[in-house]
Amino acid sequence: MKLQIVPARTGVVWVKLGMKTFFKQPLALAGLFFIFTAAMSVLSLIPVLGNVLALALLPGATLGLMAATRETVSGKFPMPTVLLSAFRAGRQQMRSMLILGALYAAGFLLVLAISALVDGGKFARLYLLGASMSAEALQQGDFELAVLIAMACYMPLSLLFWHAPALVHWHGISPAKSLFFSFVACLRNFWAMTVYSLVWMCAFLAMGVVVAVIAALAGNAETVTAIMFPSGMLMAAMFFTSIYFTFQDSFETEPKGDS
């Protein structure tokens, strides 16, 4: 395995490949993404513990969606069991994925702890406990600052784990090394990743504008909700489909393994 440096324009290619691949199996990939989000949502209903468990399972679940993309690219129909790929590849790889998940959960909790230093834990309680907050509380300066700090702290965490699940699963790399290689790969392909992120941001914004225009023409505010949620889910499914290509082009060797 060797790191591959790609030009900035590759970020656009990743987005296009994600969308193109999604439309090869739209029902299957959308269904898998729905199962993924539904499982995370059900776990989050359990205060604190459920959210922590969902965080710990997120790297493995994301790998499952990447495996589904890989199967779609190879002309196969991704079955629901592909979401469990991270935990069916053998005891050693499953152990490594669980360690990776525990590290991700710990890292995210650290981000929340840092934000709590600013707002006294309001944002952390909102995430972990689902505590209800008034509109006035959400608009307070300390809460907004805590959200911004959490977003800033989450960025390096995201880079550490961006390629890590795939490296653990398909290349058998240890959790610690996978985090290092993932971070280095993202930094070395900084401009491609930046273009990739910006294009997706524009795509989501464009979707919002289209939905708003349709709602305005229909003259019904409820139309926004009726269209926005499924449209957002489809766009998010395309985004997760595209993640596989960021990994594929960042390393020279093809991942090996069943799925």
**How many Å apart are CA 101 and CA 199, to the nearest integer?**
28
Reference 53, options 41, 63, 64; nearest CA is 41
**3 pairs with which residues across the strands?**
251
Higher pLDDT, 2 or 10: 10
Local confidence band at 216 (pLDDT 50, 70, 90 cut-offs) = confident
Buried b (16+ CB within 10 A) or exposed e, 43-67: bbeeeeebbbbbbbbbbbbbbbbbb
Reference 89, options 79, 78, 81, 77; nearest CA is 81
Higher pLDDT, 24 or 257: 24
**How many Å apart are CA 185 and CA 250, to the nearest integer?**
7
Predicted confidence (pLDDT) per residue in 172-186, tens digit: 999 999 999 999 999
- 25 contacts 77 by C-beta, under 8 angstroms: yes
Mean pLDDT in the chain?
89
- Give the pLDDT score at 21: 97
Predicted confidence (pLDDT) per residue in 85-118, tens digit: 988 888 888 999 999 999 999 999 999 999 999 9
- Give long-range contacts, CB 8 A cutoff, 24+ apart: 144-147: 145/118, 145/119, 146/115, 146/116, 146/118, 146/119, 146/122, 147/115, 147/123
Reference 178, options 97, 256, 121; nearest CA is 97
Which residues are within 8 A (CB) of 180 and not within 5 positions of it... i.e. 6 or more apart? Answer: none
- Give the pLDDT score at 138: 66
Q: What is the mean pLDDT of residues 77-87?
A: 92
Q: What is the mean pLDDT of residues 208-228?
A: 75
Predicted confidence (pLDDT) per residue in 140-179, tens digit: 778 889 999 999 999 999 999 999 999 999 999 999 999 9
Predicted confidence (pLDDT) per residue in 35-44, tens digit: 999 998 898 8
pTM of the model: 0.88
Q: 82: helix, coil or strand? A: helix
- 62 contacts 243 by C-beta, under 8 angstroms: yes
**How many Å apart are CA 161 and CA 59, to the nearest integer?**
8
Which residues are within 8 A (CB) of 187 and not within 5 positions of it... i.e. 6 or more apart? Answer: 159
**How many Å apart are CA 61 and CA 149, to the nearest integer?**
26
- Give the pLDDT score at 91: 85
Tokens of 107: 């890292």
Higher pLDDT, 228 or 152: 152
- Give the pLDDT score at 117: 92
- Give the pLDDT score at 131: 62
**138 pairs with which residues across the strands?**
none
**Percent of the residues in the chain that have a pLDDT greater than 90, as a whole number:** 66
Q: What is the mean pLDDT of residues 220-243?
A: 85
- Give the pLDDT score at 46: 84
**Percent of the residues in the chain that have a pLDDT greater than 70, as a whole number:** 91
Predicted confidence (pLDDT) per residue in 243-256, tens digit: 999 999 999 865 44
In the chain, domain spans: 10-250
